[in-house]
Amino acid sequence: MNNEIIGRADEQAILKELLAHNKSDLLAVYGRRRVGKTYLIKTYYKKEIIFECSGAVEATTSQQLNNFAVQFFRYFKTRKAVKIANWQEAFFMLETALKKIKSKRKKILFFDELPRLDTHKSGFLPAFSYWWNMYGSQRSDLLVVICGSSASWMINKIVNHKGSLHNRITQRIRLLPFTLKETEAYMQYKKVQLTRYQIVQLYMVLGGVPQYLNGLERGKSVAQNINKTCFTKDGLMANEFQNLYVSLFNNPEKHLHVTKLLSQKIKGLTRSEIVKSSAKLSSGGGISKVLEELTESGFIDKIIPFRKKVKDTVYRLSDEYTMFYLKFMDHNIKGSDGWQQVVASNAFNIWCGYAFEGICIKHINAIKRKLGIAGVYTEQSSWRLHGSKNNKGAQVDLLIDRKDGCINLCEIKFSNNVFELSRAYAAALDEKKRILKSHTKTRKSVFTTMITTFGVAGNQYKAQQIDSEIILDDLFRK
């Protein structure tokens, strides 16, 4: 593992394996803005990169080709930077230069912000595809890394491309924000001293996006850091929302519309409910594409409710910064005491519960490890039974349906202290379990699992109702 890279163990394992291949590979790395894609590749492969080119913002084809020529001059030490007429000529130059290299070691070519190179009518993608298919893939010593923040372009033109690059991507990395454990390691690296409870508070606002976390200052409290980054006019996050979706998606109006709809429905909406909620969205293929792009970029989660079909999939807003911005920052609170105003609002406690629930779902693998079922096949879902005259309704935050004949009914509670199970709450949990068994007719054993910040206080009701518990520390484990 590279000591300069915090976390990213799975991704580093992939990068290491690719170096050892005795064939050429085409690696696609994509993910949201500021998640650390460029840093990961340039840091891990800093000794192996023999050529690097990055797309420039709003540059013309001519300008992009000039930038390519400058980089070519820097890396291959040609006599001078030449004028390149088109992308076919650019890749022929690259091919010629590669043929002159005698070394048999792995050679890495890094094309960063690839979507920006594919300007209108530039011919970049056909030229790149032809070069890879006819030359790059035929060698045994190349690793071509293509990277981009534009989720729409990377997903539709590379990952799911049906043309000349179809099935040509030999490896892909969808880089997601840090986990809680990685966030803690990053805070330690930055010498920002925070408790795990405080880290979760930060995570609820900023998520695990490295560049967002990079703006935090040591020696300042959570309140001070959030005030500075989110609620002052020059704060790092003050205008991030306006740039985020524009950088990721082509024509992001529908993407923004969907996220705003979901921010108002904390338990999520089905595809049909999303369409019905707005005249701006149609039931055609367009909405499916928007939902896929938002999911692939990590902004929404899709959960199939227990014992339901794919058409019943529920979409939930899962990006912490988007949730926080739409709830508390968007044309609401400004000024140096913004965070104090947020914390004092009634809406904040409700939002904390939902945000913590989302964090738990993201860390389902840590939960499974604590439960001792890491090797058991499971399906995670939610479950809801609407009440009626004849039936009492019930809702379960998280169900872990296990292949070993068991189900974990997970109750998630966020609090700043040890959670005390009252007689009434214990009775409600028992009733929830009874309704689940009765309505679903499941033959599996149903275990009640409490997921809390600091655990459940020991009393007779805990002994009667709780089969297992997860605390905050468990979410920080591998």
Does residue 145 share a domain with residue 259?
Answer: no
pLDDT digits (tens, 9 = 90+) for 232-253: 888 899 889 988 998 888 889 9
pLDDT band at 286 (very low <50, low <70, confident <90, very high): confident
Output the CA–CA distances (angstroms, integers) from residue 166 to 160, 192, 390, in the order listed.
7, 45, 54
Same domain flag for 73 and 105: yes
Q: Compute CA distances 217 → 39, 115, 206, 214, 233, whole Å.
A: 21, 33, 14, 8, 17
pLDDT of residue 186: 96
Q: Which of 303, 325, 347 is the last residue of a domain?
A: 325
Q: Which residues contact 448 (CB under 8 A, 6 or more apart)?
A: 409, 411, 429, 433, 465, 466, 467, 468
Q: Are 338 and 231 in contact (CB under 8 A)?
A: yes
User: CB–CB of 410/396 below 8 Å?
Assistant: yes
- Tell me whether residue 352 is in a domain: yes
Q: Are 245 and 34 in contact (CB under 8 A)?
A: no
Write the pLDDT tens digit of every residue in 163-180. 767 678 899 999 999 999
Residue 351 has pLDDT above 70, yes or no: yes
369 and 429 in a single domain? The answer is yes
CB-CB contact of 21 with 107 (8 Å): no
User: How far apart, in whole angstroms, are the C-alpha atoms of residue 206 and residue 212?
Assistant: 6
Percent of the chain with pLDDT over 70: 96
Residue 1 domain flag: no
pLDDT of 156 higher than 90: no
Indicate whether 128 pLDDT > 90: yes
Q: Please report, for the domain that includes residue 106, its CATH number.
A: 3.40.50.300
**Which residue's entry shows tokens 């039931």?**
283
Does some domain include residue 275? yes
pLDDT at position 460: 96
Is the domain of 115 the same as that of 223?
no
Task: Note whether 135 and 19 are same-domain residues.
Answer: yes
Mean pLDDT along residues 447-474: 97
Q: Establish if 194 belongs to a structural domain.
A: yes
pLDDT value of residue 217: 92
Give the confidence band of 45 by pLDDT, cuts at 50, 70, 90: very high
Query: Please, what sign has the CA dihedral across residues 142, 120, 155, 41?
Result: positive
Quote the pLDDT of residue 232. 86
Query: Are 97 and 138 in the same domain?
Result: yes
Same domain membership, residue 392 and residue 462: yes
The whole-number pLDDT of residue 78 equals 75
Average pLDDT, the chain: 91
Range of the domain at 429: 363-475
Structural domain contains residue 3: no
Q: Which of 265, 300, 325 is the last residue of a domain?
A: 325
Asked whether residue 452 is assigned to any structural domain, the reply reads yes
Evaluate whether residue 453 is within a structural domain: yes
Q: pLDDT value at position 1?
A: 76
Are 141 and 226 members of one domain?
no
In angstroms, rounded to a whole number, what is the distance separating the alpha carbons of residues 244 and 323?
13
Residues 407 and 311 in one domain: no
pLDDT one-digit tens code per residue, 52-71:
999 999 899 999 999 999 99
Nearest-5° Cα angle at 440, 271 to 266: 35
Indicate whether 4 belongs to any domain: no
Q: How many domains does the chain have?
A: 4
CB 206 within 8 A of CB 229: yes
Interval 356-410: pLDDT, tens? 999 999 999 999 999 999 999 999 998 988 877 677 889 998 999 999 999 999 9
Report the CATH number at residue 289. Answer: 1.10.10.10
Whether the pLDDT of residue 283 is over 80: the answer is no
Let me know whether 149 and 297 are in one domain: no
Q: How confident is the model at residue 81 (pLDDT cuts 50, 70, 90)?
A: low
- Tens digits of per-residue pLDDT, 427-460? 999 999 999 999 999 999 999 999 999 999 999 9
How big is the chain by its Cα radius of gyration, in Å?
A: 25
Same domain, residue pair 343 and 320: no
Pair (84, 40) in one structural domain: yes
* pLDDT score recorded for residue 434: 94
Do residues 206 and 321 touch, judged by C-beta distance below 8 A?
A: yes
Domain termination site, one of 152, 174, 196? 174
Please list, in sequence order, all residues whose beta carbon lies within 8 angstroms of the beta carbon of residue 344, skipping any fewer than 6 positions away: none
Q: Is the pLDDT of residue 280 over 80?
A: no
User: Tell me, what CATH number does 396's domain have?
Assistant: 3.40.1350.10
Long-range contacts (CB closer than 8 Å, 24 or more residues apart) made by 308-311: 308/381, 311/270, 311/271
What local confidence, expressed as pLDDT, does residue 164 receive?
Answer: 67
| C-alpha to C-alpha distances, 160 to 82, 164, 174, 270, 291, nearest whole angstrom | 35, 11, 13, 24, 15
